[in-house]
Structure 1
């Protein structure tokens, strides 16, 4: 565990979010102090489309708002929110920029993070149309076609804990799956395989490497990524590498920035630093410093 500045009493350990919840969060220690974070695995009824459930709640009465920053995964999220900005159920598409959420007063969110491509396969929608936008859940799941959606947001937000909320959401999604009459989708299965390789294999840094590995034409890859994922394959590769970089920097990996850049597939340190600053809003070493001392 790294340490942070504790003021007059010197240095002491700062709480760190567990690894399974920290990736994608910017300055994770700071966020842990500002809100409560949680994650639950998806149940077997929906695990072919939903990767996990997540929750965040906060009470900042008498304190200034906190702006939580996230470098989101290439996934669609179904959320149930109750805060000063909005209340209800929402579908948020793949967010290609840094996502900033204002945490003010008292609020909470419970979300279902779909697998990359999962929401497109589940609904049949071209999720590229949802990119960088958030819409009320009723626009995607209208009550006329999905009567189970009536009162769902209120029930989820009124549930006693995250386990009960997960059950309610999975009941709805299971009923929706029956109405949608889902069948095996080979294109979606291929998308899952390709995205998993992009995330886990840092040596994959270019689209042509991916097309060679999977024997798929680049235009086909681009088309299925827009349809299922909502963003292009080049962007997905870069997003995973930036998430890796931010995560390692927040853990204190600062001794050799040039080596880190090469490990993440960048041509050199300058390219990594430039892209990191564009996406995160500060240079890598400045980000590491603020993360470790926050």
Structure 2
């Protein structure tokens, strides 16, 4: 296993990234061949806040299932975490760690054959979802080396996946387009481009992604907005709303505030003190 990366400029989805980095350490590692068709990264979060106040880490999660191996005051063990459709908040206290595998959108459902919609905004013990994984969490958490942890996980998953799922391939293409094409802002544009009826698209997204296509589009836009607001550059909110495909600035502000918990201008000031924001 190779390709370890400490925290980098890629912090999309992480709210208040500068503040978070002062409270925990983030490491990312490359996925090996057993999972590379279905997952895009290993990630590790460690913190030591002993003698310091607890910290609430906030994330706008990607439309992905994560398998995590955790050790903390909150819970310890292996878990399958479905798509989180609201702002995810994790309280970090004492000392702890989470070693995770981020499956690509649709990847866990394709790999296991599971309808991941049942895990939306929820999680389940890993051994309940994958009975063959009984004892895997204990072995992973007992291993001090991140490289060796990756090896144990790769050994377990090797040969267990389902290959050649055409529905997964289609969902992957659609989600990639949603993430990368700023002009793709409405579900009707998606159905027209890919020739998929809206009901079929909704059914595929529920089964493979765990959330509907409209939500996925909205989530990517809000991640982009939060990322740009936290960079520290001068931001014109009306221009930002237009760039992200919102009908007007008021609509953007309402949606951002509802999801993040504060208005865009307030978030920009909190995430990057001294930033200039044009309203």
Pick which of 278-287 and 155-164 moved more. Answer: 155-164
Match of 2:258 in 1: 278
Distance 1:132 1:44 in 2: 29
Alignment coverage as a number of residue pairs: 269
**For the Cα contact (< 8 Å) 1:254–1:285, is it kept in 2?**
no
Q: Which residue, 116, 122, 129 being the options, matches 1:140?
A: 129
Q: Which residue, 47, 71, 76 being the options, matches 1:87?
A: 76
Distance 1:154 1:40 in 2: 20
Distance 1:260 1:226 in 2: 30
Uncovered stretches (5+) of structure 2, i.e. residues with no partner: 1-5, 275-279
**How far did 1:44 drift?**
2.0
Match of 2:175 in 1: 195
Match of 1:288 in 2: 268
Match of 2:27 in 1: 38
Pick which of 252-261 and 27-36 moved more. Answer: 252-261
**How far did 1:17 drift?**
4.4
Match of 1:102 in 2: 91
Uncovered stretches (5+) of structure 1, i.e. residues with no partner: 1-15
Match of 1:6 in 2: none
Partner SS state of residue 78, structure 2: strand
TM-score of the aligned structures, taking structure 2 as reference length: 0.94
Match of 2:134 in 1: 150
TM-score of the aligned structures, taking structure 1 as reference length: 0.89
Distance 2:147 2:29 in 1: 8
C-alpha RMSD of matched pairs (Å): 1.4
**For the Cα contact (< 8 Å) 1:77–1:91, is it kept in 2?**
yes
Matched, 1:19 2:19: no
**How far did 1:138 drift?**
1.2
Distance 1:166 1:89 in 2: 14
**How far did 1:202 drift?**
1.0
Distance 1:100 1:260 in 2: 26
Match of 2:102 in 1: 113
Per-residue CA deviation, residues 99-144 of structure 1 (Å, 9 max, x unaligned), is 00000000000000000000110111111110000111111011xx
Match of 1:128 in 2: 117
- Structure 1: 4+ residue segments shifted above 2 A: 252-255
**How far did 1:293 drift?**
2.8
**How far did 1:255 drift?**
2.9
